[in-house]
A and B are shown apart, each in its own frame.
Chain A
């Protein structure tokens, strides 16, 4: 492929390549993925993303379970973004049944998803701080993230796995006391977010490590199908919240943040801006929550689904997440296809590392916000990103070793 530097062929002829496995224990985040980095000196020549340490076969499992059991199954594809998974799937079921949730439920769903975006972005910023060797910052961000986790607990009944979405609404309602407490938490978190954003903008060390590292031009973003904050940090205005306008996203005002930096720093700053925007959205929702019912009676929901197929998307913290649900009638889905943002963002992004220093590899990986369990629920892939070589890599490596 075209992304390899010209002298790679030469480097293979003269056995000078060093194979550095990054991972699979935890290359950056504490999740299993193996980046096989081939370096000539300190310079990265080629990266293979080796996955397959976390395959659980959830798509097959979903075919074998009923529609309703799958709601809880898909929530467990990924812990960090479980409400968006459940939301996407539940909206697919609602489309199959031609059912519309009440307004209040739509707002509450958005609230849950935006809280999730907030804590997910804070997590990856914290991990980035840790990768940069700035452990104090890591702990500080994680401490403040705990407040958001508490907010999620108040709203959904559990810190992490919310199990909040249900066909025709949500599974819990808010009362005034809870709204007051949620507002308190948001008031506490907001100045912290502003402070961290300023820190990332101004701190010399952070800037030096991130600026100009892992630059991706928009053309490559489109070509390799990268999504979410990565695309938006390269100046592309793509956001499933805008595109599909699902749930209450048509009513709740929000900004789509687009930056033109194209590098790792831009991606991290974009996440802070989005976190702040999410916080504003949460405030708006708590203030303008429509009256009415939000919790459906789960016993009265139709157990049998009509024939049909639906394709829904949702803007997860990491980018656009898509679900395809096909029903052949009956109580079980015929096919469920989940395409998570990390599936594209991590597997297709091997080209970005090339020509960087070895030390930049984890930084770039973290700036993509990898979520391996998301990615691998369906598949295990041996990925080798190309150079214009004529011999299989394995042979080359063996020859070098």
Chain B
């Protein structure tokens, strides 16, 4: 018993700290962890199913603004905007989407002062390919 404690002390004296110095050091997260997700508007057909199914009503449907090329698949020109402060990251929208339009990332650092939405990330997909949402 005594020697067990001593062994523990010595082991911990020379081992690395168990804690991570966040945010200096990044926490290691699974690549498929449920983090920030947004709709890829090349695939989205504007059906509102994700909005209907969202348990926290974090998704609203908005019109694609002027100046963006409207995809042919999306006659209504609507797209989902996620309010990340309401979102509980259950990924119900991801699994319910009939065209698998949601892009998922393991990004979990979403703390901000202002409300944050998926608007910009989604609209980026329209211009064509630049930025996959990861920082």
Which residues of B have CB within 8 Å of A202?
Answer: 1
Q: What's the least CB distance linking B59 to chain A, in Å?
A: 13
State which size class the interface on B falls in: 10 to 19
Contact of B95 among A75, A198, A203, A298 (CB under 8 A): A298
Which residues of B have CB within 8 Å of A143?
Answer: 18
Contact at A158–B33, with CB atoms within 8 Å? yes
| Bound CA span A75–B89, Å | 12
A398, CB-defined interface residue at 8 Å: no
Which residues of B have CB within 8 Å of A72?
Answer: 55, 88, 90, 92
Q: Knowing A157-B32, A157-B33, A299-B98, say if A163 contacts B53 (CB, 8 Å).
A: no
Contact of A299 among B1, B18, B89, B96 (CB under 8 A): B96
A161, CB-defined interface residue at 8 Å: yes
Contact of A76 among B1, B30, B53, B88 (CB under 8 A): B88
A334, CB-defined interface residue at 8 Å: no
B84, CB-defined interface residue at 8 Å: no
Kindly name the residue among B1, B30, B53 whose own CB sees the greatest number of chain A CB atoms within 10 A. Answer: B30
Contact at B88–A153, with CB atoms within 8 Å? no
Q: What's the least CB distance linking A165 to chain B, in Å?
A: 11
Which residues of A have CB within 8 Å of B29?
Answer: 153
| Bound CA span A379–B26, Å | 41
Contact at B34–A158, with CB atoms within 8 Å? yes
A85, CB-defined interface residue at 8 Å: no
| Bound CA span A153–B89, Å | 13
| Bound CA span A197–B33, Å | 32
Contact of B4 among A65, A76, A139, A195 (CB under 8 A): A195
Q: Knowing A143-B18, A202-B1, say if A154 contacts B30 (CB, 8 Å).
A: yes
Residue-wise interface mask of B (21-44) relative to A, using a CB-CB cutoff of 8 A (1 in contact, 0 not): 000000001101110000000000
- Using CB atoms, name the residue of chain A closest to B1: A202
| Bound CA span A171–B92, Å | 10
Which residues of B have CB within 8 Å of A78?
Answer: none
Which residues 45-103 of B have a CB within 8 angstroms of A? 53, 55, 88-92, 95-96, 98
A73, CB-defined interface residue at 8 Å: yes
- Using CB atoms, name the residue of chain A closest to B95: A298
| Bound CA span A269–B8, Å | 21
Q: What's the least CB distance linking A214 to chain B, in Å?
A: 26
Which residues of A have CB within 8 Å of B34?
Answer: 157-158, 163
Q: What's the least CB distance linking A25 to chain B, in Å?
A: 25
Residue-wise interface mask of A (185-213) relative to B, using a CB-CB cutoff of 8 A (1 in contact, 0 not): 00000000001001000110000000000
A99, CB-defined interface residue at 8 Å: no
Q: What's the least CB distance linking A136 to chain B, in Å?
A: 9
Contact of B30 among A68, A139, A146, A153 (CB under 8 A): A153
Residue-wise interface mask of A (68-88) relative to B, using a CB-CB cutoff of 8 A (1 in contact, 0 not): 110011011000000000000
Q: What's the least CB distance linking A192 to chain B, in Å?
A: 11
Which residues of B have CB within 8 Å of A299?
Answer: 95-96, 98
- Using CB atoms, name the residue of chain A closest to B18: A143
Contact at B55–A73, with CB atoms within 8 Å? yes
Q: Knowing A153-B33, A202-B1, say if A65 contacts B55 (CB, 8 Å).
A: yes
* Cross-chain pairs A/B with CB under 8 angstroms, 23 sampled: A69-B55, A72-B92, A73-B55, A139-B18, A143-B18, A146-B18, A153-B33, A154-B30, A157-B30, A157-B32, A157-B34, A157-B91, A161-B88, A163-B90, A163-B91, A171-B95, A195-B4, A198-B1, A203-B1, A298-B92, A298-B96, A299-B95, A299-B98
Q: Which 6 A-B pairs have the closest CB atoms?
A: A69-B55, A72-B55, A163-B90, A143-B18, A157-B34, A298-B95
